[in-house]
Amino acid sequence: MRATGTGLPAVVELTAKTGAHQPEDPFNRYVLPEVEVLLRVAHTLTSRPADAEDLVQDTLLRAYQAIDRFDGAHPRAWLLTILRNTHINRNRRRRPELLDDQDAAFERLASTETDADSPEGLVVGSAFDAVVSDALDALPDRYRQIVTLVDIDGLSYAEAAETLGVPEGTVMSRLHRARGRMRHRLVAAGLAPRRKL
Amino acid sequence: MSAKPRKMWGTKEMASCMQVMRVVQSYLDGQTDQVTARRVANHLDACRRCGLEASTYREIKAALARQAAPLDEESLERLRAFGSSLSQQTARGEAESGSGDTSPPA
């Protein structure tokens, strides 16, 4: 289901409901300002832009249905939780084997720190960015997602934790390890100083 | 005779390298309390090894921020229009029915 600009999805026609939306509509107040963040996060969670848009649209619909039960506290965290649950449900419905495979893959991932033995020196510029980009791509999914949510999408630890359904401590530890691996790559490439003991 | 420096993280002004490395990324992300932030900052100013490592992490964060791809504006506009249409649907429903309850789709 997608909003194509040519007309509302049929499901919208089913959603006329009553509630205390006026004079200040909480959906306008709490949800609409977060659409851009939701789309960024959806891009991080999904592999295709079209899937990201569909995911946000489903999230908006679910938020609309639940807005009367929302107390107004931490709207972004509330919406990110809806986004996560919607994402999980969509994957289960479409590709029931996917989540199991991902979970199993996560468990198999071992810590494989890169050996770092190269000349010291800090060099900034395109080479640095290129190595960072490669290092990000080389990270296991669970690490890459956290780094992307925090460093690219701009979420706080709490918001990233809501998005992925993990404790904040897990966000911190994965970030720490992920950036550590990226730093090791930079050190190996001679683009960052090696820490001497 | 000066007092012997205390070793606890919570009472010592200058933290150890190990203590700082444990929290440096949270510090760079602005996720530490002010007391911790001050102690980490003091340490990074005084310790070259930790300072260089923190600089590398800062550069990594900056490089990642530069990777943020611009969002598809058309996609964003479609979603905003969809969200607005939901609110308008509510307003119309209230105006027409005044009361009564239509359950949302499952």
In chain B, DSSP assigns E strands to none
Write out the two tokens for A6: 């040519």
Instruction: Determine contact: A116 vs chain B, CB below 8 A.
Output: no
Q: Which residues of B touch A128 (CB under 8 A)?
A: 59, 63
Query: What's the mean pLDDT in A6-33?
Result: 60
**A14 with A8: CB under 8 angstroms?**
no
Of A128, A176, A193, the CB nearest to B63: A128
Interatomic CA distance for residues A81 and A73, integer angstroms: 13
Residue A98, pLDDT score: 44
Of B67, B80, B104, the CB nearest to A133: B67
In chain A, DSSP assigns E strands to none
Instruction: Note whether residue B2 is domain-resident.
Output: no
Instruction: Note whether residue B60 is domain-resident.
Output: yes
pTM (whole model) above 0.90: no
Cβ-based contacts under 8 A for chains A and B:
162
Instruction: Note whether residue B68 is domain-resident.
Output: yes
Dihedral sign computed on CA atoms, order A90, A53, A103, A79 = negative
Greater model confidence, A27 or A49: A27
Give me the interface pTM, i.e. the ipTM. 0.71
Dihedral sign computed on CA atoms, order A16, A21, A27, A33 = positive
How many domains in chain B? 1
Instruction: Note whether residue B38 is domain-resident.
Output: yes
For residue B65, the enclosing domain spans 17-92
Interatomic CA distance for residues A86 and A48, integer angstroms: 16
Q: What's chain A's average pLDDT?
A: 77
Contacts of B90 (CB under 8 A, 6+ apart): A16, A17, A19, A21, A25, A27, A64
Query: What's the mean pLDDT in A90-108?
Result: 50
Instruction: Note whether residue B11 is domain-resident.
Output: no
pLDDT single digits (tens) A38-56 = 999 999 898 788 899 999 9
| Confidence at B16, pLDDT banded by 50, 70, 90 | confident
Instruction: Note whether residue B31 is domain-resident.
Output: yes
Cα of B1 to nearest chain A Cα, Å: 32
Greater model confidence, B58 or A120: B58
